[in-house]
Each structure stands twice: as C-alpha cells, then as structure tokens.
A = this chain, B = another copy of it.
Amino acid sequence: AGDPEAGKAKAGVCAACHGPAGKASIPGYPHIAGQNKEYLANALKAFRSGERKGGFAALMSPMAAPLSDQDIEDLAAYFSTL
C-alpha cells in the first residue's frame, strides 16, 4: 500500500502544475487533492506506460516515466488524503 508521508516527500515536482496542496491554481489543470486513490494510481500508470494519449499525456508521461510502482502508490496515497 502507499505511504502518504513518503508520497509527500516525492510530490515536489507535482506542485508546479497541481498546486502546493493538490489544488491547481491554473484553471486548465486538474485538482488532484482528495481524488480517488485508485484513480490517481491508474492514471499515473497509464501515463507511464503511454497507454493514455491526448489531453495532458504529452506533459504527464515524462513526469510518470521515472516513477516506480511504490512511488505511484505513495503519491496516490498522499494526494488522496488532502
């Protein structure tokens, strides 16, 4: 399972678009604070694998590429608890 504290430590780069607490100040970007944990993990995996295309995939796939499964579980756990 994901560890929100470990996720928080890995979430620095996410803040650039999703806001410091997962609430995107840029209207076109999605809030991820309080989002369903399983949805977040599935979305990151789909970006990482390249399965998800179009929309923000071009921006998100490079972000997700270096993430391990554990990183993804931790990040999803962290943002879903905000």
Contact with B along A6-50 (1 / 0, CB 8 A): 000000000000000000100111110011111100110010001
Interface residues of A in 34-73 (CB under 8 A from B): 34-39, 42-43, 46, 50-55, 57
Please measure, in the bound complex, the distance between the C-alpha atom of A37 and the C-alpha atom of B51, giving whole angstroms: 25
Chain A's interface: helix, strand, loop or mixed, by majority?
loop
- The answer, among B29, B34, B38, for a CB contact under 8 Å with A28, is B38
Chain B hits for A38, CB < 8 A: 27-28
- The answer, among B27, B36, B57, for a CB contact under 8 Å with A30, is B36
Interfacial residues, chain A to chain B (CB-CB below 8 A): 24, 27-31, 34-39, 42-43, 46, 50-55, 57
